Amino acid sequence: MATSCGSCCKIAPSILNADLSNLASECQRFIDCGADYLHLDVMDGHFVPNLTFGHPVVNCLRPHIPGVFLEMHMMVSEPEKWVEDMSGAGADMYSFHYEATSDPAHCIRMVRESGMKVGLAVSPDTPVDVVLPFVDTVDLILVMTVRPGFGGQKFMVDCMSKVKFLREKFHNMDIEVDGGVGPTTIHECAEAGANVIISGSALVNSDNPRQTINYMRNIVNEAIQKGSLER
C-alpha cells in the first residue's frame, strides 16, 4: 500500500475466518488471487469479547510472505502497548480504534515513530467527526460497518453516511470499510466513496476469490471514475 490516494482502489482480505492452521498458504493464496494486501484482526478479549492472535503469529508469518503489506486492525484496549511489538514483528500499518485510547494523538505519534503507517478506526456507534482533528496525521480512516469483534456479521448500511461525509470533505483520503463487505454490499460502499475494501467471509468462502476481487475492484473503480468526473 503506497501513499494515501482516494483515487486508488485497494482490496484486502480479512484473514480472521481463513484456515488459521494453514495461515501462510492462505495468505499467499489471496495475494495470488489479486489482493493488494492483507488485513489481520488482532483482538484482546477486552476491547472486544473475542480473542485472536498477536505479534508472535505475525512474526512467524512474515518470513513466508516477504514483501506483502500487512495491516494490523488492532481491536485492543490501550493500543499504545503493542506498537513496538507489532513493528518489530514486521507489520506495515497499525490501525487502532479511536474508542480504545484516551490519547489518539499520542498513539498516532508512536506508530509513526515506529516506522509503520497509521490507520484510525471508528466503530458504528461513534460519530465520524471525532476523526477530523487527526485526518492530516493518519494514512487512512477505517469506518467499521459491523460491530468490532466477530467475523460474518451483517453489513450496517447506516454507516455509509460516515463514508460519504468523509469523502465529500476529503477527496484524496483513503477511506476503508470493514465488516460484511462483499459482492452484495460493494455497491453501497463504492457509491458512498470508500476506496479501500476489507472483505472477510465473502472472500474466504468464495469458490473463486480472484473473480470476487476483480468484481469488487471494478465496482469501486467505476465509482471513483464517476466521482472524479463529477468533481
Enzyme catalytic residues: 41, 178
d(CA 212, CA 203): 7
Sheet of strand 140-144: strand arrangement: 10-13, 196-199, 174-178, 140-144, 117-122, 93-97, 70-75, 38-43
Strand 38-43 versus strand 70-75 pairing type? parallel
Written as one letter, the residue type at 156 is: M
Indicate if the alpha-carbon torsion angle 217, 24, 45, 97 is positive or negative.
Answer: negative
